Amino acid sequence: MKFIKSCAAALLALAAVQAASAQTTIRVTGSTAFRSATIAGIKSLLGSTYDEVYQVSSSSTTGSTNSNYTTFIGTYSSSSVIIQCAWTGSAEGIRDVAQGLNQKFIKSSLVVNNTPGTIETTSTSAANSDSTVFESGIPDIAMADNTQSATIFKTPALYQKEVGIIPFVFLKGQVGASHPSKTAFDSVTNITSQMAKSVYAGGAPLSFFTGAVDVNGTYIYGLGRNPFSGTRIVTFAETGIGSTSTATQFTPVTTSTNVTGVALSAADTTNGFLAGNNGYSSGGTLVSDLYKPVSDTDGSGNSQDGVPFGLIGYVGVSDAATLLKSINGSSGTDTSAVLSYNGVRLTPTYSSGSQSTTWDYTPVKEGKYSFWSVAYLSYRKSAGANSTTALSGLPKTFADGLATYITSNVPSSSGVKLSDMKVTRTTEGGAISLK
């Protein structure tokens, strides 16, 4: 595990790092769905004078916009600040801000000034529990895909500011050329809320999706997120499963290239998530597994307990774009992995030249596509546990400024600006009405 240190300007001296105790520390946590907009907002508020250090946990981590841990040192409103970010999930972020619980953040002492425009890579290996890298702190701000009332962490109540709209999609995985039901599986283009209920109650026959008898008895199993995920909360509310309901989700058994079986998602004894009701901590890891085809090229077969199977999962549009990039690279344009929901499609267009995906958000803006939620920036509005107080002073000014930036600068890769919406809703999965 590496850490990348990059510099936007060499105006901070080493003495500034040594004087960190005199700086104001502001900690941000929560959902990754609006992470790119949030990181861009932080950098904008800090201006041209900041430095950062971020964790590289995989080959796909190419900057602070897609890293789970980032720490900045800079200046805001003529004051020296340390901004620490740890992206853990919507519900967990809401819980930790509301209840004053510690999260881990990269130490500001690891932020080092470099020559402008250079990138320094350190080979230091550090586990997430390494005390030389991480320190504990109570977060001040939580980014969330959902309202606090949709979680089990309803008190003490937080201030929540709407900052954008997050669309979600269901994705189907891939099956190998020798899969006995490949033609039928590849023909699936739509999932309904009723189909989703069946899939996340333990699996559903392929025939539910195709309307035709499948002589092979193929089953569709659902991959999903853990209960701390706002993506899961929104998905389960939208489909009628219930935002805090239990589910039966699976994890594929994989080789480096293929899916060879499935098993119930592993239990998480630390957080009390039972086997099956647990899930992925990130959408990026989920789509990595969806990309691997159910295949028998390694001799393991296309079946689980003798029954052929395929996989489906739910993610935000930014993670869906990652899957399309994996499928197409620099030559393809296939977007068939993205399913319609209740007969309405959020249409993606993949550009092999730029290896990027654009979305036609018109159905979201007009209320025809209902699989979306409001993104919120949240913080404490009153005193709470562990000596926490209402956010005030410079941290509150920063939080409000960050919310204003995000609202005005939502990237299309993440979602839709509030100002572009013709419709609204008051809760996840709730009725959609004209503004």
Instruction: Output the pLDDT for position 67.
Output: 80
The answer to whether residues 290 and 416 belong to one domain is: no
The answer to whether residues 50 and 188 belong to one domain is: no
Instruction: Output the pLDDT for position 129.
Output: 59
Q: Write the pLDDT tens digit of every residue in 142-166.
A: 999 999 999 999 999 999 999 999 9
The answer to whether residues 261 and 292 belong to one domain is: yes
The answer to whether residues 174 and 98 belong to one domain is: no
Instruction: Output the pLDDT for position 366.
Output: 98
For the purposes of burial, counting CB atoms within 10 Å of the CB of 234, is it exposed (0-12), middle (13-18) or buried (19 or more)? buried
* Residue where a domain stops, chosen among 307, 339, 365: 365
How far is residue 135's CA from residue 222's CA, in Å, rounded to a whole number?
36
The answer to whether residues 306 and 232 belong to one domain is: yes
Amino acid at 140: D
- Angle between helix 35-46 and 393-408 (nearest 10): 120
Report helix, strand or coil for 241: coil
SS3 content of the chain, % helix, strand, coil (to 5): 25, 30, 45
Secondary structure E strands in 175-281: 190-191, 204-205, 219-223, 250-254, 259-264
Instruction: Output the pLDDT for position 284.
Output: 86
Amino acid at 216: N
Q: Do residues 320 and 348 lie in contact, with contact meaning Cβ atoms separated by under 8 Å?
A: yes
Total tally of structural domains belonging to the chain: 2
Q: Rounded to the nearest 10 degrees, how much is the dihedral formed by the CA atoms of 240, 244, 245, 247?
A: 100
* Residue where a domain stops, chosen among 323, 342, 365: 365
The answer to whether residues 32 and 84 belong to one domain is: yes
- What CATH number did the domain enclosing 298 receive? 3.40.190
How far is residue 91's CA from residue 150's CA, in Å, rounded to a whole number?
9
Instruction: Output the pLDDT for position 2.
Output: 58
Instruction: Output the pLDDT for position 3.
Output: 56
Instruction: Output the pLDDT for position 296.
Output: 61
The answer to whether residues 112 and 242 belong to one domain is: no
Phi and psi torsions of 382, nearest 5°: -155, 170
Residue 351, both tokens: 């550009």
The answer to whether residues 326 and 259 belong to one domain is: yes
Q: Rounded to the nearest 10 degrees, how much is the dihedral formed by the CA atoms of 397, 400, 405, 406?
A: 140
Q: Which residues of the chain have pLDDT under 70?
A: 1-21, 57-63, 113-129, 296-303, 305
The answer to whether residues 293 and 343 belong to one domain is: yes
The answer to whether residues 213 and 311 belong to one domain is: yes
> Which of 281, 286, 221 is CA-nearest to residue 247?
221
Cα-trace Rg, the chain: 22
Q: Write the pLDDT tens digit of every residue in 195-231.
A: 999 999 999 999 999 999 999 999 999 999 999 999 9
Instruction: Output the pLDDT for position 62.
Output: 57
Residue 415, both tokens: 């979602």
Residue 241, both tokens: 């499963």
* Residue where a domain stops, chosen among 365, 393, 426: 365
Q: What's the domain range around 160?
A: 2-164+374-434
The answer to whether residues 255 and 106 belong to one domain is: no
Instruction: Output the pLDDT for position 302.
Output: 65
Q: Write the pLDDT tens digit of every residue in 251-270.
A: 999 988 899 899 999 999 99
The answer to whether residues 156 and 231 belong to one domain is: no
